Amino acid sequence: MERPGWLEAVAQDARFDWARRSWDVAAVVPGNWFDAVLADRVVELWPVYFRHTEGRWAGKPFILAKWQEIIVRLLVGWKTAEGFRHFRRMLLWVARKNGKSEFMAALALLFWICDGEQGGQAYCFARNEKQAKVVFDKAKTMVRKSADLVAAVTLKKREMWHAELGAKFELLSGTAEGKHGLSASVIVGDEAHEILTDAMYVTLHQSTPARDQPIELIGSTAGHKNRGWGWALWEECRAILDGRLNQPDTLVVIFSVAEGADWTDEAIWPLANPNLGISPKIEYLRAECAKAKENPRLENDFRRYHLNQWTEQNVRWIPLAKWDACSVGGDSWKRFHNRLKGRACFGGLDLSSTRDVTALVWLFPPIEDDPQWIIVPRFFVPKDTIEERSRADRVGYDDWLRIGALEATEGNVVDQDAIFNAILEDGKLFKVEKLGYDPWNATQLALRLQDENVPVVAMRQGVHTLGEPSKEFERLIYSGQIDHGGHPVLRWMVGNVAIRMDSNGNFKPDKQKSSEKIDGVIGCIEALGLAIATDNEKSVYEKRGIRRV
């Protein structure tokens, strides 16, 4: 069957390779035919029934963009020999802010209502209920804004009900538990890249066999490689488009910039952003790109969110040029101890397990006459391992020892007595507010310190504990509000750091993925976390004083 004019119109546009392939695959299935009249009619009536839900477009007719129109035509037009829908699943991958969730909500309503399925069941799911609620609430808003739809549909908090059809559209929680026994006719899944397992999808998919033409609508932006169901689904999509996997009833739609392409090149941004110019605006992408050029962490965010490229979870963090700018003197770290006598500080202790570097970091909050956060680190390494570590790590432990940037303890394993004495020694010099430590291997030392009235605080090493101070540490560096005095060991560690991000954009340093030791950076973040928590604990009256009215 020849391709229609609306498809030939984009024959030279690489963004629509998926559309041409899907047409050709559907066309060779025995008995298949294309209902052009129905496809034209649905596209014509789309803005009559569906309206936009938010922003400057709220309430205005939903006029399909070219890419959306092609998807709609393919989904509703292709029929099997029995007259049922050919495409039973659509997998849509597109960059953020291109109207994915809005489009998915309208598609779900189309198939839930316009199919005329008696007793139809539509279900909306995502990683959790909050995420699923995005598409579900958009669908409810579209119903409210349509005189025809709102007259036929009853709206509830977690459900919509079409009385004439006896059909329901329900918002689901994020777990598969308790979902057996359903009979889905429409399945809508959003942000697949955040979904860790396929349990919910499998449960819903296995509930569809009783339906003549069920439809599954799954949409997402790219996420982290090798993580969860989303990555597996992406790999499946690539295999379908490449012809390695034969699934003719699955419509795969991918808008993405190829891996390895120059992500700063504006000319390729439309490959992942078919709505570019409407949403997102080119000015917005330019601003985000400029930020990403300055920050390696934001580079991956830009590529993932706005170019729809899958990236590694572990990324480079702090450019040394940014770090080096945070020092008023090349060796001022040598004078910090004497300069800061009597000042309040927070500490972070990263105690090595046996033979590695132990970091003790003191962080001094700004005061009126000294507006910078000042870092005073001390590093300890077993004396008998220095030569070995210098060879293995290819760094100058012996040179650092000679200039006082590193302290040697007796023996070939970490000397906790030496660390204990160093903390007490500094406690007499500074006003230690709190000292954070990892309870995994420093509990005994912490108990000894507690007996000496040192205010120790256990700090787990997960994103929940270190996520917020990691972001604040980054902010302070980029804004030039830190003074580390040029300490050479800490600089080396900063250059080693890789961070691990979760699906929500939270991150923390990752020891396993970093190129070398990062203990001093962990100590900085622990100390900063304690400072933030202490500041948050202060009452509003302590921060601004009592106001009289």
CATH annotation of 5-255: 3.40.50.300
d(CA 373, CA 377): 13
Task: Judge contact between 32 and 86, C-beta under 8 A.
Answer: yes
If phi > 0 it is left, if psi is from -120 to 50 it is alpha, else beta; for residue 260 that is left
Question: How far is the CA of 342 from the CAs of 169, 336, 424, 455, 528, in angstroms?
Answer: 65, 12, 14, 16, 19
| DSSP per-residue string spanning 90-126 | EEEE--TTSSHHHHHHHHHHIIIIIT--TT-EEEEE-
Q: How far is CA 547 from the centre of its chain?
A: 41
Question: How far is the CA of 548 from the CAs of 98, 100, 539, 540, 543, in angstroms?
Answer: 50, 51, 17, 14, 15
Average pLDDT over residues 177-194: 92
Residue 540 in this model has a pLDDT that exceeds 70: no
d(CA 195, CA 216): 16
Q: pLDDT of 89-108, one tens digit each?
A: 999 999 999 999 999 999 99
What is the SS3 assignment for 418-476? HHHHHHHHHHHHCEEEEEEECHHHHHHHHHHHHHCCCCEEECCCCHHHHHHHHHHHHHH
Residue 337 is predicted with a pLDDT of 87
Tell me whether strands 373-382 and 407-409 are parallel, antiparallel or unpaired: parallel
Read off the tokens for 374.
Answer: 């000042």
CATH annotation of 320-537: 3.30.420.240
Q: Which residues contact 118 (CB under 8 A, 6 or more apart)?
A: 165, 166, 167
Residue 505 is predicted with a pLDDT of 81
Q: Which residues contact 308 (CB under 8 A, 6 or more apart)?
A: 93, 94, 95, 221, 222, 254, 255, 256, 257, 272
Strand, helix or coil at 410?
Answer: coil
Read off the tokens for 395.
Answer: 């760094």
Q: How confident is residue 312, by pLDDT bands cut at 50, 70 and 90? A: confident
Q: 313: which strand partners? A: none
Residue 519 in this model has a pLDDT that exceeds 80: yes
Tell me whether strands 121-125 and 167-171 are parallel, antiparallel or unpaired: parallel
Please tell me what DSSP assigns to residue 370. Answer: B
As a whole number, the mean pLDDT across the chain is: 92
Residue 313 is predicted with a pLDDT of 80
Average pLDDT over residues 108-131: 96
d(CA 428, CA 520): 22
| DSSP per-residue string spanning 301-329 | HHHHHHS---B-SEEE---HHHHHTS-SS
Residue with tokens 């040394």: 320
Q: What residue type is 512 in one-letter code?
A: Q
Residue 538 is predicted with a pLDDT of 64
Q: pLDDT of 14-40, one tens digit each?
A: 999 999 999 999 999 999 999 999 999
d(CA 512, CA 144): 51
- Do 320-537 and 5-255 fall under one CATH topology? no
If phi > 0 it is left, if psi is from -120 to 50 it is alpha, else beta; for residue 510 that is beta
Q: How many residues appear in the chain?
A: 549
Task: Judge contact between 188 and 137, C-beta under 8 A.
Answer: no
d(CA 380, CA 422): 10
d(CA 97, CA 168): 29
Residue 510 is predicted with a pLDDT of 92
Residue 512 is predicted with a pLDDT of 86
| DSSP per-residue string spanning 244-311 | SS--TTEEEEE--PPTTS-TT-GGGGGGT-TTTTTSS-HHHHHHHHHHHHH-HHHHHHHHHHHS---B
Q: Kindly calculate the radius of gyration of the chain based on its CA atoms and give it in whole angstroms.
A: 29
Residue 392 is predicted with a pLDDT of 65
Residue 547 in this model has a pLDDT that exceeds 60: no
Q: How confident is residue 393, by pLDDT bands cut at 50, 70 and 90? A: low
Nearest to 469 by CA among 434, 438, 508, 430: 508
Q: How confident is residue 226, by pLDDT bands cut at 50, 70 and 90? A: confident
Taking 3-state DSSP, the helix, strand and coil percentages for the chain, each rounded to the nearest 5, stand at 45, 20, 35
Residue 429 is predicted with a pLDDT of 96
Residue 250 in this model has a pLDDT that exceeds 60: yes
Other residues' Cβ atoms within 10 Å of the Cβ of residue 175:
14
Average pLDDT over residues 309-328: 88
Q: 124: exposed, middle or buried (C-beta count within 10 Å: 0-12, 13-18, 19+)?
A: buried
Q: What residue type is 136 in one-letter code?
A: F
How is the chain split into domains, by residue range?
5-255, 277-312, 320-537
Q: How confident is residue 539, by pLDDT bands cut at 50, 70 and 90? A: very low
Instruction: Name the maximum alpha-carbon separation found in the chain.
Output: 87
Q: How confident is residue 66, by pLDDT bands cut at 50, 70 and 90? A: very high
| DSSP per-residue string spanning 5-67 | HHHHTTTT-GGGHHHHHHHHHHHTSTT-EE-HHHHHHHHHHHHHH-B--SGGGTTSB-PPPHH
Read off the tokens for 11.
Answer: 């024959």
Rounded (10°) angle between helices 439-451 and 416-429: 50
